[in-house]
Copies of this chain bind each other. A is one copy, B any other.
């Protein structure tokens, strides 16, 4: 169970499992789009969970430190989004530029390209971001 896995990660780094961390985790677990801090905050308010926006930021940063959450900076959004990594593999996203809907692209075409780039640039390639925008079926 996710909460158990994460409790271990927290404990291993001298941190504690708390009411608010459980609430953020459970929301991320049942949501299938990456959420921004303010969206997490708003949804938890709706769920009658007492939490401060500052705590949301601190919580997603802890989860990111533990490697349990990915932080996405989508083009021109001006805010980060967060999604659970646990149990999902590396992937990318496409976002509708009309309604904002975000869909997982369960692929990554960049393994070979990375090698080519390292040869050409003499960089050691670490990470990459890849994101598509367009019009979703409803907004065409």
Q: Report the interface size class on chain A.
A: 35 or more
Extra contacts, 13 of them, besides A103-B123, A107-B113, A126-B134 (Cβ < 8 A), are A71-B76, A73-B73, A94-B123, A109-B110, A122-B137, A123-B132, A123-B135, A123-B137, A126-B135, A127-B132, A129-B129, A129-B130, A130-B130
Interface check A2, CB cutoff 8 A: no
CA distance in complex: A117, B131 (Å):
11
Residues of B within 8 A of A131 (CB): 128-129
Interface check A124, CB cutoff 8 A: yes
| Max count, chain B CB within 10 A of own CB: residue among A109, A113, A128, A132 | A132
Residues of B within 8 A of A109 (CB): 109-110, 113
Q: Is the CB of B113 within 8 A of A136?
A: no
- Listed in ascending order, the chain A residues whose CB lies under 8 Å from chain B are 71, 73, 75-76, 94, 96-97, 103, 105, 107, 109-110, 113-114, 116-117, 120-137, 140
Task: From known contacts A123-B135, A135-B123, A140-B124, infer whether A94 and B117 are also in contact, taking CB-CB under 8 Å.
Answer: yes
Task: From known contacts A73-B75, A75-B73, infer whether A117 and B129 are also in contact, taking CB-CB under 8 Å.
Answer: no
Q: Is the CB of B128 within 8 A of A130?
A: yes
